[in-house]
Structure 1
Amino acid sequence: ENPLRSGKESVPELLFVTDLDGTLLRNDATLSAFARTTLQQLLAEGLHFTVASARSVASIRPMLAGLDLRLPVIEFNGAFVTDLESGRHRAVCALEQEWVDQILQAGKAAGLTPCVSWFDGERDQLRIPVGANEGIDWYHRDRKSAGDPRLGDGWDRRSFAGGGVVCLTFIEREQVLAGLVSALEAWNAGRIELHLQENPYAPGWWWLTVRSRDACKSRALRHLRESICPELVGLPVVAFGDHDNDRELLLAADTGIAVANATAELRGVADQIIGSNEEDAVVRTIADLFRGGK
């Protein structure tokens, strides 16, 4: 049963927010022809829609090419709220530099060097410690083949010593990263947000992302509504996700929806479970709710 339509002939104007990988996108990280065409039509009809992803805007932009996405997107799991077309950040949530130093020190003790993403005040930057392992090299090849403008040569701690670091990403086998998670959790005290997840496009290699505790999708959505696009205040939010990093977003939404392929934890907190990402269930649900309210 659809909780937005129970006992109602129509639904109110809504704001739709969706995760990308495993949710809106299919397993090959693409938007299907059906999903793209349908979203184009819905946006032309006035749909309020944006995405909230762990990806960077440089990675999001080609996936959503051709969509007239007027609202800013939430990237890096909430570290940035960004205009998709221009790449201009409307909000930045960086790690404190002393925290970055502590995290790097913990990584060094574990024999790990992270990929570093930061904003230098003018442009986004990304440095990858090429050659550390095959999982890291996969990421470098992926970003290089995509022509990611953030990607620079070499890994030099002095490059980001001025601050602005939004995310540190350690890539290794799960067991190795589990030890680093334990070390960081012992120090954390609410400073940082840790997320450990297997790379679905390079099985066996796990990513541990470290961000500010304030850099989360739900807080970024609240900032988007209250400070950047106040016209959205008061609109009920419908949010979609598939993984544990979507948990707070679904809980903060008026209606949190998990796709069928979501983790057990996320399905457990969702108000509704729909079909899988391979079935374009998110776009079909958005179309049903949006057009059902007209």
Structure 2
Amino acid sequence: MTDDRRPGLHVFDLDGTLLRSDATLSPYARDGLNALLDAGTALTVASARSAVAIRKLLDGVRLTLPVVELNGAFLTDLATGHHLAHATLDPTVAATALDALARLSAEPVLTTWDGSADRVLHGPGDDPATAWYIAEKRAYGDPRLASCQDPYAAVDGVRTAAVIAFVPDGEAATAVAALESTLGGTVGIMAAANRYVPGWTEIQVAHPEAEKGLAVRRLARGAGLASARLTVYGDHLNDLPMFAVAERAVAPSNAHPDVLARAWAVTASNDEDGVIRYLLDGTPPC
């Protein structure tokens, strides 16, 4: 180890950071994470993905700390799936978000929580990005997945962690502006190009406190690591909130330009396992 990189708490994004561009964790990264864990390094992940997906993608990695899932909507014990904290929409706000998406002719996918069980509820998947989103979860046997003909009934009486819809890239700015005009400060809205279905932008409507920065700080307090140095690793705009609260923020070279501009260090790309090599064997940053 060099540059005193290992102490403190380390929190990794998944897609574009720990995962390679084919959405897999390499054997090198898996073994490297376990070597760090065995050496006593405190580390975990903060992802837009669910705990179900995190568990599948990080199969074989011996995480013990909670994970941040759905961009901070939940802080979750990965072994049990139990939510330790949540930032979720109440039924009225979720229904208003559905109204706004209907005016945009955007098909919603809902992630809901009734206090004990999580569900991912979807319609027909008429556009290629929504179809991909559903198919990916079906492929790894996501037990939360179910079809839903009435999204308004689905959000009634439960908490909603995320309302997701996909729009063509050229319509994204207009769609975000319309959602912000309708929903104001009652929600947080994130939009990002879908890296797996070019030409489509994913829009997520969630609680305004469902963001990685707040969630990572909550995680650190719960783990007794509030005073530990926080190092975070990410590549996309949804990682910037945790960059803002970290003592050190590290990005792979494939990161979004705005993320690279805010990074304390830049490593080799995700396809080269850059962030793990940087932490594990002291590979110099780019």
Normalised by the shorter chain, which TM-score bucket? over 0.9
Which of residues 57, 67, 71 in structure 2 aligns to 1:73?
67
Which of residues 39, 45, 50 in structure 2 aligns to 1:51?
45
Which of residues 186, 190, 197 in structure 1 aligns to 2:192?
197
Which of residues 251, 256, 279 in structure 1 aligns to 2:244?
251
8 Å CA contact retained: 2:125, 2:134? no
Aligned-residue sequence identity (percent) comes to 35
What is the Cα deviation at residue 56 of structure 1? Answer: 0.5
1:20-31 alignment runs, 5 A limit: 20-31=14-25
1:287 aligns with 2:280: yes
What residue is the counterpart of 1:132 in the other structure? Answer: 126
Q: Which runs of 4+ in 1 moved over 3 A?
A: none
What residue is the counterpart of 1:118 in the other structure? Answer: 112
What residue is the counterpart of 1:278 in the other structure? Answer: 271
What residue is the counterpart of 1:242 in the other structure? Answer: 235
What residue is the counterpart of 1:266 in the other structure? Answer: 259
Q: C-alpha separation between the residues in 1 aligned to 2:215 and 2:252?
A: 22
Q: Deviations over 1:73-120 (max 9, x none)?
A: 000000011111111111111013222122111111111231000111
1:13 aligns with 2:7: yes
What residue is the counterpart of 1:179 in the other structure? Answer: 174
Q: C-alpha separation between the residues in 2 aligned to 1:251 and 1:53?
A: 16
Letter of the 1:35 counterpart: A
Which of residues 108, 129, 138 in structure 1 aligns to 2:102?
108
Q: C-alpha separation between the residues in 2 aligned to 1:12 and 1:272?
A: 14
Which of residues 152, 155, 173 in structure 1 aligns to 2:149?
155
Moved more, 147-156 or 188-197: 188-197
Letter of the 2:59 counterpart: A
8 Å CA contact retained: 1:16, 1:286? no
Q: Deviations over 1:4-62 (max 9, x none)?
A: 93xxxx46721100100000110011111111111112111111000000001111111
8 Å CA contact retained: 1:251, 1:270? no
* CA RMSD across the alignment: 1.7
Letter of the 2:130 counterpart: I
Q: Deviations over 1:113-138 (max 9, x none)?
A: 31000111111101111243222112
Alpha carbons of 1:134 and 1:196: their partners in 2 closer, same or farther (altered >3 Å)? Answer: same
Alpha carbons of 1:235 and 1:47: their partners in 2 closer, same or farther (altered >3 Å)? Answer: same
Q: Deviations over 1:230-270 (max 9, x none)?
A: x2121101101100111111121000111101111111111
8 Å CA contact retained: 1:130, 1:140? no
Moved more, 257-266 or 171-180: 171-180
Letter of the 1:71 counterpart: L
What residue is the counterpart of 2:83 in the other structure? Answer: 89
- What 5-or-longer segments of structure 1 have no aligned partner? 290-294
What is the Cα deviation at residue 154 of structure 1? Answer: 2.4
Q: C-alpha separation between the residues in 1 aligned to 2:100 and 2:183?
A: 12
8 Å CA contact retained: 2:168, 2:201? yes
Alpha carbons of 1:152 and 1:11: their partners in 2 closer, same or farther (altered >3 Å)? Answer: closer
Which of residues 158, 166, 185 in structure 1 aligns to 2:161?
166
